[in-house]
Amino acid sequence: MKLAEHAPDMDVVFAALAHPARRAILDRLSEGEVSVMELAEPFDMSQPAVSHHIGVLEKAGLIRRRIDGTRRPCRLSPDGVAAIDEWLAVLKTALSANYDRLDTLLAAPTSTAENPTP
């Protein structure tokens, strides 16, 4: 199985997820497939703005689009290696932050690990 070791992809995914509007779009898409127009409505954003965010999400592999006549509805990427990679990248970053903090705690002279509380 491919893993989330490829740093460039991870950067793209994190950059994509860093924008609140794009997280909101993902949240909306978790309910099912929708068109760009339908996405723009509740977010009070212009269609070009939504199209831009969708482009970023698509490049990051988080969503897919298909052609349906003149419509190009969006949906979350199907379950698969890409989706798992993204999830693992998120997990890796969260755990790295925690363990870096634990390093500091273990190195601290006041670490209570040597003097457990009564």
17 versus 50: smaller Cβ distance to other proteins: 17
Asked if 46 interacts with other proteins (CB under 8 A), we say no
Among 52, 71, 88, 109, binds other proteins (CB under 8 A): 88
20-24: which pairs have CB atoms within 8 A and are 24 or more residues apart? Answer: 21/45, 21/49, 21/53, 22/53, 22/56, 22/57
| Chain residues that interact with other proteins, rule: CB under 8 A | 1, 3-5, 14-15, 17-19, 23, 26-27, 30, 76, 79, 83-84, 86-88, 90-99, 101-107, 111-114, 116-117
